[in-house]
Every structure is written in structure tokens, then in C-alpha cells.
Structure 1
């Protein structure tokens, strides 16, 4: 029986989540996955804030990077980050629910480009992230 792309993405996410201790440690959750896309979210807690009282840029980057990872591994092919960058647009504040929506822009051979927009629940853009991926040998889960 052939699995749908959504089924493969969900199985890939489940397998990755079981080994991704950093994403869970930050307090992130997976809200949605599909082929080439993923949405993760988290609430900014006191321990996520910096000396200005706003969400630390590294935490925002980690959220975007995790959404990127789940999106680019959604085909059950082991895929890693090759390069990425982020532009911070507005500060996240303690109590904000941050949402990172990753989408595939291009996939050619073993190389992919993904854009991730991080917003608050009300839609305020916090950051824009672009990641380049590279598929390497292996699968995310064993297909049984």
C-alpha cells in the first residue's frame, strides 16, 4: 500500500521528535507537518528572555530552525542544514505564543531552500528565516 505524502511527513516528524531533545527542551510543539512544510510553536517563558526583556534571538532562531528541520525531512530522507540566515523584525515578549511556519521554496536534486516566518498569534512578524538544506544518505525512519 502506498502512503500519502502527508502520512510520510507525519511518520518522519514522529520519528524525529522522538530523538529531538533540544526542540522539546525549548518548549516547542509541532502543530502541522506535510510534504515540504511544517508549523511549530512555543510560548515565550521568562527563561527565554534576554537582558532587554524580549525573547532571546537564539531562541527565535531555534524555533525557526526546528520548523525548517521538520519541513525538509518530511520525505523520509535524512536532510541537514547547509546554511541559514535570519532577519529579526520585531521583538517577542514574555507570554507571546510564537508560531514558525516553514515552507519549501525549491527542491532540486539534493539541495533545498526553505523560508520560515515567525509570528505571534496575532500575526505580528517577529522574524524571517531562510534555510538551505542538503539531503544525505539515510532515512528518518525505517519503512516497515
Structure 2
């Protein structure tokens, strides 16, 4: 649960031998990068049942169904869960293959309440990317209704410096 389908995941495959095994077998011959690598290790999003419907460089679509644990004292979804859902979609949109991109900030506007059992869809897209910085807009919907809008600001980390051999 929570893992993107093989069709939705952009991966870089690295052969570990001349007889590399296909990605479907789940062997080490597949090396995930970018959004796929980030989501593969995102236990928080997976725990909440967030699924990655599809993604590519600069865009993503995710789904999440509101569960009992996500309801606040007013019997509506706690805003933190909606923020986390939008933020996960933002992360999927801004993590290009081969990069590690993090949030430098994010803002959300809650437009309508959501309730236990509601299925939410978040669609994110890149607005602008200049150098290592980017701006992304995420729209969270329930059916045809927009329930929240999120704007995320990203920063791509510089590549790690190669390890120097000890002398």
C-alpha cells in the first residue's frame, strides 16, 4: 500500500551483471532515483495510504482516502494531514531523476472541509524552476471540488562531493 505502480514510477535501471533481471522481479538490478527513490523511503506517506497515481519531471498526481485517525475534534480532517498529502505530491513533482530536492517552504489554503471516507486527489505542477530553486502549485480535490491549494518552494541540493581517499 502506498507504493507507486511500476507504470507510474520513473526509474533508472543499472545492470549488476551481464544477465540483469527485469524490474518486475524486484532484484537489486533496479536503482530508483529522484521521486521514485524518495517515495520508496517515505514511510510517513506510505503509512497514511498515500498512493502515487502518476508522476514525471515537474508534475505528479497522488491519492489519499481520509481515515478515522485523520479526523480532528470537529469530525473533519485535521489540516496537518491535508498539508502532508499536498507536500508529498509536491515532493513527487520536484524530485527529478538524479536529483535530491527538498522543500524550502510551503503554504496551504484550506477551502472546504473533508471527512472520513473522502477520497482526495492532489495534482501538482511546476510553475517555475530557475537554477536550484523552484515553485510548484498543488491542487487538492474531492471529486470536482477544490478543497485546498498548496504552493511549495523547492531547493535542489548540490551533488555530494566525491569521497577522498585517506592517505
TM score, norm. by length of structure 1:
0.86
Give the one of 67, 85, 91 matched to 2:113: 91
Total equivalences in the alignment: 131
Structure 1: tracts of 5 or more residues without a match: 1-6, 140-144
Greater helix percent: which structure? Answer: 1
Q: Is the contact between residue 103 and residue 152 of structure 2 (CA under 8 Å) also seen in structure 1? A: yes
After superposition, give the CA deviation of every residue in 1:83-139 in whole Å (9 maximum; x if it has no partner). 11000000111111011111000000110000000001x211110000000010238
After superposition, give the CA deviation of every residue in 1:45-84 in whole Å (9 maximum; x if it has no partner). 1111111111110000000000000100024211110011
Q: Is 1:41 aligned to 2:41, yes or no?
A: no
Find the residue that maps to 2:10 and give its secondary structure: helix
Runs ≥4 residues deviating over 3 A: none
Q: Is the contact between residue 10 and residue 74 of structure 1 (CA under 8 Å) also seen in structure 2? A: no
Structure showing greater relative contact order (alpha-carbon pairs closer than 8 Å, 6 or more residues apart): 1
Between structure 1 and structure 2, the one with the greater Rg is 2
Give the one of 73, 86, 98 matched to 1:76: 98
Residue in structure 1 matched with residue 50 of structure 2 by the alignment: 28
Q: Is the contact between residue 89 and residue 127 of structure 1 (CA under 8 Å) also seen in structure 2? A: yes
| Aligned Cα root-mean-square deviation (Å) | 1.6
CA–CA distance in structure 2, aligned partners of residues 77 and 14 of structure 1: 11
CA–CA distance in structure 1, aligned partners of residues 52 and 40 of structure 2: 12
CA–CA distance in structure 2, aligned partners of residues 52 and 99 of structure 1: 22
Structure 2: tracts of 5 or more residues without a match: 1-6, 12-33, 161-167
Q: Is the contact between residue 81 and residue 132 of structure 1 (CA under 8 Å) also seen in structure 2? A: yes
TM score, norm. by length of structure 2:
0.74
